[in-house]
Amino acid sequence: MSESSSSVSRVGSSTFPPSAAPSSKISSATASTAPTAAETADVIVVGAGPGGSATAAYLAMAGLDVLLLEKTQFPREKVCGDGLTPRAVKELITLGIPTPEEDGWIKNHGLRILGSGMRLQLDWPDLASFPPYGLVRTRQDFDEILARHAVKHGARLHERTNVVGPVLDDRTGHIVGVRARPVDEKGRGTGDEVVYGAPLVVAADGNSSRLSLSMDRPKRDDRPMGVAVRTYFESPRHDDDYLESWLELWAPKADDPDTQILLPGYGWIFGVGDGTSNVGLGILNTSKAFGRVDYKDVLKRWVATMPAEWTYNDSTMTGPIRGAALPMGFNRQPHYDRGLLLVGDAGGMVNPFNGEGIAYAMESGRLAADVVAQAFARQTDDARERVLRSYPAVMKDALGGYYTLGRGFAKMIGHPEVMRLATRYGLPRTTLMKLMLKIMANLTEPHGGAASDRLINALSKMAPAA
């Protein structure tokens, strides 16, 4: 979608008010020149990924009328490592999502790190604020579980509904609805555009966030960006109860098989528990190789070096290698303006330390819903708008300093020589690596805790939240 005026509908202020009291509903358009709203709600959430569905669920629990629009149909695949750290598990618990093993939730106990010929296995830290385990669940049904949870609490979900642009109030410039088109399973339009109206719209439409672009919110070039590719292999390692992270990817040189070369990127192997392993790699734009190599070829060359008994080969690959972008460190801002609020990947909320996105998408959805519910409890437009404008500060208070540290870390590991030294001298020191695990997974007690927790929290607070 371009940012041209053709992607924006404008209506008079009498059609959709820029804000509404909690008990009010937005009226359909009455002027002949204005689009008529097929449905109205208190809040429209665009995108039913983890961030959008969490937002919709919390808003519905707060008693608001929520419309959740998803361009695909569930179940649907999403490129991801499928690994959930204790931080993500905490969000699932808070949201009220049951995760019993008999329903396909695979527990893991920690992280196994490989690099410089060494192998270190670390358990997740035992903290009061986070569960001492992680989970693995494929996105094939993870997102649907969250979306159905939102529906159970009262949100209205429309699948195969592709939002193509905002509807703006002529007087204020606020978004007061969206234009959408029904699509088939391949994303092709199958009918006329439909207008949905609401005084507040939440963009949870992922990295590209076309809705944000149409509201003049492009990505920031000064923030890290990652690319991840992954596939699935049938393997006896499918029930591994540790997430596995490879800090170095080695492979034979193409014209000299006896010589090993270091490939760009960092790899993972996560047992999915269904007979397959999720195997993938990521690379940051701080690396000189970013955008200059065939990431799928790098994955194949790395996998070819693994032991034959792991059965990671073409004959056991269960699907194609797929890729996705990882928007990091608040790379799209402001997180609220003119009636449009951003959560998850749309707001660049992926952790720059480890590429984790699900935990932060759900966390931003929870924090956003709290702000929105408070705003709708106010009795005047000005008061509601004042509360909504607090959302960027809420997100920066929660993650801003930590993400600033993460951006510095991303720059550092973009230099292979720095990463090589860190791996060689860091991995043998278990105490140091336990500290790094807490930092990279953002797992500390918020108040008190061990000395390492207090150190990490102090660093995050001292770092500027930009």
Q: Which has the closest alpha carbon to 229: 262, 266, 193?
A: 266
> Comparing 412 with 404, which gets the higher pLDDT?
404
- This prediction has a pTM of 0.92
Instruction: Look up tokens 């670390």; give the residue.
Output: 122
The stretch 431-458 carries a mean pLDDT of 95
**Looking at this protein, which amino acid is placed at residue 96?**
G
Residue 34, pLDDT score? 46
Instruction: Look at residue 196 and tell me whether its pLDDT is greater than 90.
Output: yes
Residue 187, pLDDT score? 87
Cα separation, 76 vs 261, in Å, equals 37
**Lowest-pLDDT choice from 9-23, 110-124, 278-292:** 9-23
Residue 35, pLDDT score? 63
Cα separation, 313 vs 304, in Å, equals 7
The stretch 205-222 carries a mean pLDDT of 95
Query: What is the arrangement of strands in the sheet containing 340-342, beginning at the earlier edge strand?
Result: 156-158, 66-69, 43-46, 200-203, 340-342, 336-337
Q: Which has the closest alpha carbon to 204: 91, 65, 344, 43?
A: 344
Confidence class for position 141, pLDDT limits 50, 70, 90: very high
| Residue 148: both structure tokens together | 């159905």
Instruction: Look at residue 345 and tell me whether its pLDDT is greater than 80.
Output: yes
> Which structural domains are found in the chain, ordered by start?
5-77+140-220+329-399 (3.50.50.60)
* Residue-averaged pLDDT of the chain: 91
The stretch 153-157 carries a mean pLDDT of 98
Residue 387, pLDDT score? 98
The stretch 424-432 carries a mean pLDDT of 90
Q: Which has the closest alpha carbon to 449: 127, 90, 133, 85?
A: 127
| Cα atoms in the Cβ-side hemisphere of radius 13 Å centred on 284 | 26
Instruction: Look at residue 13 and tell me whether its pLDDT is greater than 70.
Output: no
Give Rg (Cα) of the chain. Answer: 23
In this predicted model, what pLDDT tens digit does every residue of 70-92 receive, in sequence order? 999 999 989 999 999 999 999 99
Beta bridge mates, 169: 11
In this predicted model, what pLDDT tens digit does every residue of 293-306 receive, in sequence order? 999 999 999 999 99
Residue 431, pLDDT score? 93
Instruction: Look at residue 14 and tell me whether its pLDDT is greater than 90.
Output: no
Instruction: Look at residue 149 and tell me whether its pLDDT is greater than 60.
Output: yes
| Residue 424: both structure tokens together | 């060689």
Confidence class for position 22, pLDDT limits 50, 70, 90: very low
Q: Which has the closest alpha carbon to 206: 116, 331, 83?
A: 331
